[in-house]
């Protein structure tokens, strides 16, 4: 199985910003752990992070026919990006929405996702393990 982990806006600052929310590991360290997690189970995984909404949309489009699934942590785009929503809806590649924090226990604006309706599922609140659970959902 070939999977893609997409990270959106500000997630490049993981390990630096709000360590109490996102942890002390950098995104690169988390990605290395996820790569080993997938490899141990016989799956491959690629990673991409950007602060640009259109680049995420393009990566979702390009995943068609290449990847078996996408794990998407869109960051703040989660709450207002109809462009990402439409990109997800335009491909047949299943997408699982992932968040390290429990967005429902945070600020009101974070409680609504415009992406969830077009995603296969949602995993949140388990720190970096949210990614592992989302990845694992593809081979269960």
Whether 67 sits among the annotated catalytic residues: the reply is: no
What Cα–Cα distance (Å) separates residue 131 from each residue in 70, 108, 120? 11, 23, 14
Whether 99 sits among the annotated catalytic residues: the reply is: yes
* Dihedral sign computed on CA atoms, order 126, 132, 138, 140: negative
Choice among 79, 99, 104, 131 that is catalytic? 99
Secondary structure of residue 121 in the 3-state scheme: strand
82-89 and 53-62 helices, crossing angle to 10°? 0
Choice among 22, 43, 67, 131 that is catalytic? 22
Question: Catalytic site residues?
Answer: 22, 99
């Amino acid at each position: 199985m070939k999977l893609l982990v997409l990270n959106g806006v500000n997630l490049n600052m993981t390990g630096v910003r709000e360590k109490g929310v996102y942890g002390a590991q950098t995104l690169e360290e988390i990605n290395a752990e996820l790569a080993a997690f997938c490899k141990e189970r016989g799956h491959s995984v690629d990673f991409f992070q950007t602060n640009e909404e259109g680049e995420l949309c393009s990566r979702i489009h390009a995943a068609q026919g290449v990847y078996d699934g996408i794990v998407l942590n869109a960051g703040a785009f989660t709450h207002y990006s109809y462009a990402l929503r439409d990109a997800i809806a335009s491909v047949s590649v299943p997408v699982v929405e992932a968040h390290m924090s429990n967005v429902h226990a945070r600020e009101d604006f974070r409680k609504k996702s415009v992406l969830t309706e077009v995603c296969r599922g949602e995993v949140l609140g388990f720190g970096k393990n949210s990614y592992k659970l989302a990845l694992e959902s593809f081979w269960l």
